[in-house]
């Protein structure tokens, strides 16, 4: 019998994570996705790995939201500057 290695479990955790993200795109909030995935992945022996993945996704989501906010601010600033001066 072949004993699975750490890489085997790690690969399966990543595979399951991305499969679930792809399969359930109707979740609108990241928190719902993470809660759902945590229930599934905690039973996969790799709680530490899963927590790391959740943190990475959360940071990426926050970064994406921050960039979107900055872009909106810049666009509104540019549009204010482009308005013609009325006499």
Separation between Cα atoms, residue 34 and residue 67, nearest integer Å: 22
Q: What is the pTM of this model?
A: 0.29
Q: Which of 42, 44, 35 is nearest to 8 (CA)?
A: 44
Band of pLDDT at residue 63, cut at 50, 70 and 90: low
> What average pLDDT score do residues 18-25 get?
64
- Domain map (residue ranges) of the chain: 30-80
Separation between Cα atoms, residue 28 and residue 23, nearest integer Å: 13
The per-residue pLDDT of the chain, averaged, comes to: 63
């Amino acid at each position: 019998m072949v004993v699975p290695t750490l890489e085997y479990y790690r690969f399966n955790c990543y595979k399951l994570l991305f499969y679930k993200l792809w399969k359930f795109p109707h979740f609108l909030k990241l928190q719902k996705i993470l809660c759902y995935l945590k229930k599934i992945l905690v039973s996969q022996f790799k709680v530490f790995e899963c927590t790391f993945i959740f943190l990475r996704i959360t940071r990426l989501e926050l970064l994406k939201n921050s960039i979107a906010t900055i872009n909106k601010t810049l666009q509104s600033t540019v549009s204010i500057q482009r308005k013609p001066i009325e006499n």
